[in-house]
A and B are shown apart, each in its own frame.
Chain A
Amino acid sequence: MIQVANLVKRFGDATVLDGIDLAIDQGEIIVVIGPSGTGKSTLLRCLNFLERPDAGQLTLGDLDVDVTRATRADILAARRRTAFVFQNYALFANKTALQNIVEGLIVVNRWPKAKAHARGREILRRIGLTDKADAYPASLSGGQQQRVGIGRAMAAQAEVILFDEPTSSLDPEWVEEVLALMKQLAAERQTMLVVTHEMGFARDVADRVVFMEGGRIVEQGPPSQLFNAPRDPRTRDFLRKVLAAQPAIQPS
């Protein structure tokens, strides 16, 4: 169970997150959509303390902190309960695919190397990259790199995996394989919070779609409701624009 209450983040004078309330159940798949500059990435980054929020209460499993009072230990604990998949993969360039996946297990969770590697190979199998265990990121395609990025997040066994536009940097030819892996994780009921412009993914996979604008959650609901019968005019306006750009998934 993940809960965010009244999360606020400012950059200078700009209030980028203006009191976000969000609860995520174990095994729930939530997709966040919204216009550019709305604070979607910032929301994910605050959950992981890559940005320090200015106010709010954060509950991640058994961890419950007032973000303004979070100690260094709280921050590490929060990071261990969340895993992040980056738009640009952000793989460790000096480590192989397998090493990228097991790095956290060995360094952060202090698993013995053999145990970590066994788990790493198991994850490589699930992401379909068994034969790339010893390949360095520079020699992998964008799609393969992002699958390793997802594998690294899977290894963390976090309460929730945060995806920030995981397919936006990919050449079109690699998008499908990454979405397929995410669907596979969703089918296994991995709790996920996904920021994406892939409306097809949102419609097919999400349990709940959250529409954000101007640092607030404007509207949320199951995809059938949000896509077919949006209540707020801002949601309608946004959907009209993006669905016009992605005609394959026009409202039925």
Chain B
Amino acid sequence: MSVLDFDYMVGLVPILLRYLPLTLAMAAAGMALALVLACGLAVIRVLGIPGLNGVTLLFISFFRGTPLLVQLFLFYYGLPQVLAFLTQIDGITATIMGLTLHFAAYMAESIRAAIVGVDRSQTEAALSIGMTNGQLMRRIVLPQATRVAVPTLMNYFIDMIKATSLAFTLGVTELMGATQKEAAGSFLYFEAFITVAVFYWVIVELLAWCQRRLETRLNEAYRR
């Protein structure tokens, strides 16, 4: 193997930087939507709402039980064939949809576990002083559940950022798609892919750093 072409790699950085916002935007949108959906699913599971509980279980089972890539293809290539009004769905939308549903299924279960994990006696204490169920949730249960759920949710966010790279299979030119094109032009596959690998790596490490800081703050109340 010849020596790495560093000049090429350095030159690639500003090109790839142009596609970074799209990658981050897809991950941010997917995460925000997935959080909302997952909270809803978790509450349905915690309360055990009769009909909805079954639907939720089926949803979670399907989106955890099938590969994300299959789900993305299903949305992008499959859905327009069965849903007439969706003559065309663009790759970015399909990616965000897939990420949302896929990760919401996982996150719902960790949020549910975090809610259920809050000491039952605190619930009784809150009710005993006359709090309503809503006040109990907002002021006592959810703040504590958040602390428990945040590390896991951050890990899912990190996974999601990496999973955005699958969007290139739907023809979206994000970080991975752009790298693929550059590499195909230069034939310097190793340089191109090691560069994009470092991109993802740096993003993830930055996030992990934020995660540690956030956890320290959230744990303040529990230090002895």
The A-contacting residues of B in range 87-122, CB under 8 angstroms, are 119, 121-122
CA distance in complex: A182, B3 (Å): 80
| Residues of A participating in the B interface, judged by any CB pair closer than 8 Å | 48, 50, 76, 79-80, 82-84, 86, 88, 90-96, 103-104, 107-108, 136, 138-139, 152, 156
Whether B128 sits at the interface, judged by CB under 8 Å, is: yes
The answer to whether B119 touches A93 (Cβ under 8 A) is yes
CA distance in complex: A92, B137 (Å): 12
Q: Inside 8 A of B214's CB, which chain A residues have their CB?
A: none
Nearest B residue to A88 by beta-carbon distance? B121
Contact of B129 among A88, A95, A152 (CB under 8 A): A152
**In this complex, which of B125, B128, B139 has the most chain A Cβ atoms within 10 angstroms of its Cβ?**
B128
Contact of A83 among B121, B124, B128 (CB under 8 A): B128
The answer to whether A90 touches B129 (Cβ under 8 A) is no
CA distance in complex: A87, B127 (Å): 16
The answer to whether B129 touches A92 (Cβ under 8 A) is no
Contact of A50 among B122, B128, B131 (CB under 8 A): B128
Given contacts A50-B128, A86-B125, A152-B129, 6 further A-B contacts (CB under 8 A): A79-B129, A82-B128, A92-B126, A104-B130, A107-B135, A139-B223
Q: Inside 8 A of A94's CB, which chain B residues have their CB?
A: 140, 143-144, 147, 221
The answer to whether B124 touches A79 (Cβ under 8 A) is no
CA distance in complex: A136, B219 (Å): 11
Whether B66 sits at the interface, judged by CB under 8 Å, is: no
Whether B222 sits at the interface, judged by CB under 8 Å, is: yes
A-B contacts, 5 of them at CB < 8 A, read A93-B119, A94-B143, A94-B144, A94-B221, A104-B130
CA distance in complex: A207, B125 (Å): 27
For chain B, which range describes its interface: under 10, 10 to 19, 20 to 34, or 35 or more residues?
20 to 34
CA distance in complex: A79, B132 (Å): 11
Nearest A residue to B126 by beta-carbon distance? A92
The A-contacting residues of B in range 195-224, CB under 8 angstroms, are 220-224
The answer to whether A108 touches B122 (Cβ under 8 A) is no
The answer to whether A139 touches B224 (Cβ under 8 A) is yes
The A-contacting residues of B in range 146-195, CB under 8 angstroms, are 147
Nearest A residue to B123 by beta-carbon distance? A90
The answer to whether B132 touches A76 (Cβ under 8 A) is yes
Closest beta carbon of chain A to B116's beta carbon, Å: 15
Nearest A residue to B135 by beta-carbon distance? A107
Contact of A108 among B131, B144, B224 (CB under 8 A): B131
CA distance in complex: A91, B135 (Å): 16
Contact of B130 among A88, A93, A108 (CB under 8 A): A108
Q: Inside 8 A of A93's CB, which chain B residues have their CB?
A: 119, 122, 144, 221-222
